[in-house]
Amino acid sequence: MTTINCQVTVCSHNKSGVCYANCVDIVGSSAMEDYDTCCGSFLNKLHYAELTNNTLSSGSCDCLKCTVETCTFNNNNLCKLDNIQVSGEKVYYYTQTACDSFKLGR
């Protein structure tokens, strides 16, 4: 199981810095830097109730999808890492988040 460490405190899936979404989708197909990526699974608490009570209790996710084709950790649209870091300050939309674990592939 993958652990998503998340600094996006306004996300409905965030509980004490860990993402409790069953599936996380990192997007940014032609990213060159981490800020070119984002968490497509982000849901703002302002518009959605906290979802952490309705998902996995372990904090791990079943699936870490990644459509960032330029990332070295992308393996057939799945992330090879056991844990990643997602960040974002003053986030209202998913496009204001970033995968800090992104590494440009060669």
Residues 57-98: pLDDT tens digits?
565 677 899 999 999 999 999 999 989 999 999 999 999 999
Q: How many domains does the chain have?
A: 1
Top pLDDT among 52 and 36 is at 36
- Asked whether residue 34 is domain-assigned, the answer is yes
Q: Which amino acid is at 47?
A: H
User: String of b and e for 69-92 (b: at least 16 CB within 10 Å)?
Assistant: ebbebbeeeebebeebbbbbeebe
- Asked whether residue 58 is domain-assigned, the answer is yes
The residue segments making up the domain with residue 15 are 2-99
- Asked whether residue 106 is domain-assigned, the answer is no
- What pLDDT band is residue 41 in, cutting at 50, 70 and 90? very high
Report the DSSP pairing between strands 63-66 and 83-87: unpaired
- What pLDDT band is residue 47 in, cutting at 50, 70 and 90? confident
- Asked whether residue 24 is domain-assigned, the answer is yes
Which pLDDT score, from 0 to 100, does residue 23 have? Answer: 87
Residue 3 clears pLDDT 90, i.e. is over it: no
Distance CA 98, CA 40 (A): 10
- Asked whether residue 25 is domain-assigned, the answer is yes
For the record, the structure tokens of 91 come out as 């986030």
Residue with tokens 């990644």: 66
Collapsing DSSP to helix, strand or coil, 63 comes out as: strand
- Asked whether residue 105 is domain-assigned, the answer is no
- Asked whether residue 104 is domain-assigned, the answer is no
61 - beta bridge partners? 2
